[in-house]
């Protein structure tokens, strides 16, 4: 359980998240993920990183129960941990391929929205239930997956979209049966890793450099409203309602 790194093939690092039952990492888990991604990106032998998860879902966002139990300090920790993990994926020195199965919610959108490519299983669904959880954030990353008006509609309604819908928008590279997800992600990573390693790192830096939105600054701006909602009591009211539903 936790975050692990392996090398399934030459030139490829596999970073796997495993926080049962729903992959909602605690504060420490987000920081561990950030460090694992950064460490793999620094390894001169790595040319592509695959970000994957064990279990029925890729990521369910932050651990709401931890925030309910430990209050504002846990919220600050979650904000900082998510910011670090999302930035680590975006700033990873080599391309990052996200392998997504089941649900990809909240913080999961922050991870895949900052990845370089996404391969998803047929049962994968993507969304930001933030307004139902007493939080805000990751609209920055959802906007990298879908057009502006769809992003806003999804955000305000907390609805999800399927992997097939994101494939139609061009943000998911391939949609495959669940039992072929890891193999499909590694196939893409293998094709990327066949390129010259130094040139790949230059390409990643160059592509990040022409991005129209500073994703790190944009996301931290959003997080300010999450904290404002908490200080004003709105977030707690919504989270308490979520907890009583037992969702």
Where along the chain do its domains lie? 2-179+197-245
Q: Is the peptide bond before 8 cis (omega within 30 degrees of 0)?
A: no
Q: Quote the pLDDT of residue 68.
A: 78
Q: Quote the pLDDT of residue 243.
A: 54
pLDDT tens for the 247 residues of the chain, in order: 899 999 999 999 999 999 999 999 999 999 999 999 999 999 999 999 999 999 999 999 988 888 778 878 888 898 999 999 999 999 999 999 999 999 999 999 999 999 999 999 999 999 999 999 888 999 999 999 999 999 999 999 999 999 999 999 999 999 999 999 999 999 999 999 999 999 999 999 999 999 999 999 999 999 999 889 888 989 888 877 765 544 3
For residue 190, the number of C-alpha atoms closer than 13 Å in the C-beta half-sphere is: 8
Residue with tokens 């460490």: 39
Q: Quote the pLDDT of residue 246.
A: 42
As given in the structure block, the two tokens for residue 118 are: 């996404």
Q: Quote the pLDDT of residue 98.
A: 98
Q: Quote the pLDDT of residue 226.
A: 85
CATH architecture, domain 2-179+197-245: Alpha-Beta Complex (3.90)
DSSP letter assigned to residue 188: H
Phi, psi of 93 (to 5 degrees): -70, -15
pTM given for the model: 0.94
């Amino acid at each position: 359980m936790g975050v692990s790194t392996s090398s399934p093939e030459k030139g490829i690092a596999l970073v796997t998240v495993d926080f049962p039952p729903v992959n909602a990492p605690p504060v420490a888990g987000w920081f561990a993920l950030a460090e694992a991604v950064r460490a793999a990106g620094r390894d001169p032998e790595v040319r592509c990183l695959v970000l994957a998860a064990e279990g029925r879902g890729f990521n369910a966002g932050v651990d709401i129960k931890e925030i309910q139990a430990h209050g504002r300090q846990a919220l600050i920790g979650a904000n900082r941990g998510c910011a670090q993990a999302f930035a680590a994926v975006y700033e990873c020195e080599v391309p990052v391929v996200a392998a997504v199965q089941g649900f990809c919610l909240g913080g999961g959108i922050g991870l895949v929205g900052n990845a370089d490519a996404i391969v998803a299983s047929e049962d994968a669904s993507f969304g930001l239930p933030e307004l139902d959880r007493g939080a805000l954030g990751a609209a920055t990353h959802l906007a990298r997956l879908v057009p502006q008006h769809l992003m806003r509609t999804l955000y305000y309604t907390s609805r999800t979209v399927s992997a097939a819908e994101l494939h139609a928008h061009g943000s998911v590279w391939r949609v495959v049966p669940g039992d072929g997800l890891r193999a499909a992600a590694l196939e893409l990573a293998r094709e990327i890793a066949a390129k010259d390693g130094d040139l790949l790192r230059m390409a990643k830096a160059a592509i990040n450099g022409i991005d129209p939105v500073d994703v790190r600054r944009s996301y931290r701006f959003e997080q300010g409203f999450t904290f404002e909602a908490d200080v004003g009591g709105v977030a707690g009211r919504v989270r308490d309602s979520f907890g009583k539903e037992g969702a």
